[in-house]
Structure 1
C-alpha cells in the first residue's frame, strides 16, 4: 500500500478526488496526512475523511530554508512513500527536494514546458494560446522543470476567462493524478527511472 502526504495551499479539489479514490478498499494507496503552508479550505477535506493534517505557516519563519526544514520534519513523521504538491503555492527549498526526490510530484495547470510558474492559466490566456493543458511532474529545483510523468492538452475556447479555463483543466489534473498514483503504486511508473532520463 502506497502511503501519501499531500501538500495544499487552497481549496484542495485534487486532494478531495484522491481521498475519494483512496476510500475504495481496492485502491492501492492511502493519504496518511495532509499539510498546508497556511490555513487552507482544503484541510476540511482531510477532516471529513478522517485524515490527520498539519500546518506549517510560511510567515512563522525567518527564512524559506527554516520553513522548509520545519515542513520536512512534519512530512517525515508520516514516513510517506510519495509526497504530492497539489495546488501548493510555495517553492520548496532544495533541502526538501533532495530529501524527498524523486518521490515528490507536482500537478500543474499547463502543458509543460509551456507556461511554468504560479500563473500558468493566466499566462496561457495572455499569450493568446489556442490550447494549454495539465501536467504531472517530478519536482526538481527548477520552477516546474522536472521530468514529466504525464500530461494532456486542454483547448482554450473563445471567451474563456482564467476561472472558466481553470475549471476545465482541474478535472484533467485530477484524472492524471489518480492514474499516476495507481501506476506508481502498481509499479508501472518508476519515479527513480523517470528521473534518470
Structure 2
C-alpha cells in the first residue's frame, strides 16, 4: 500500500477534499494508495476531527514543545516516517520547514499555494493579485524545495478576478479549484512512486 501522510494546522479543507476523493474513487482498491495519517502542529486543528470521522489515525506534535525549529522538524519527520509515506502532503500546514526536513522528503513532499506561481509566492496572495490588477488568479500544486513556493509545478487552476472582488471572495473561488486539483495531483504523484 502506498501511504499518504497529510500535515495540517487548521480546518483541513484540502485534506478533507483529498480524503473524500480517495474514498469516492477507491484509491486503495484501484491504486493501492491510502491516506494513512493526518498530523498537526495544533491540537485544536479542526481537520483532526474530520480525519478521525473517516477513520484516519491522527497525531499532534506541538511545535511550541520543542527547543528549536530543527528539533521539531526532526520529531515531525520521525512521526511521518512511522507511516512509511510514498507522499507527504502539506494542506494548510503553517510552518516554514527546515532545509533538512525538505531534503529528507525530497521528491515526495507536495504543497498547494493560492496563486498562479511563480506569481505571488508567500502570504496575502489574493489581495496582492487584486492590487496588481490581475484578471486571473488561481492555485498551484508544487513539489516543495528549500526555496519558498519555488518547487516544480505539478498542477494549476485559474479563476477570474471579478470586479468588486475582495481577498475573501477571491480566496473562496480559488479554494473550490484547490479542492479539484489537489487530490488529482496527489494521486498522480503517488502513482509515480
| TM-score, length of structure 1 as denominator length | 0.89
Matches within 5 A, 1:8-157: 8-24=8-24, 26-27=26-27, 28=31, 29-39=33-43, 40-157=45-162
Give the root-mean-square deviation of aligned CA atoms: 1.5
- C-alpha distance in 1, partners of 2:2/2:178? 20
Structure 1's consecutive aligned runs of 4 or more residues displaced over 6 angstroms after TM superposition are none
CA distance in 2, matches of 1:170, 1:56: 26
**Contact map agreement 1:3 1:82 (CA 8 A) in 2:** yes
Between the aligned partners of 1:8 and 1:163, the Cα distance in structure 2 is 21
Partner of 1:110, secondary structure, is coil
Query: Does structure 2 retain, via aligned residues, the 8 Å contact 1:89–1:118?
Result: no
> Residues 80-138 of structure 1, C-alpha deviation per residue, up to 9 Å, x if partnerless?
10000011111111111111111000011100010111322232223332221100000
Q: Flag structure 2 segments of 5+ consecutive residues without an equivalent.
A: none
Q: Distance in 2 between matches of 1:36 and 1:177?
A: 19
SS in 1 for 2:76: helix
Unaligned runs of 5+ in 1: 191-197
Report the TM-score when normalising by structure 2: 0.91
Shift of 1:158: 1.3
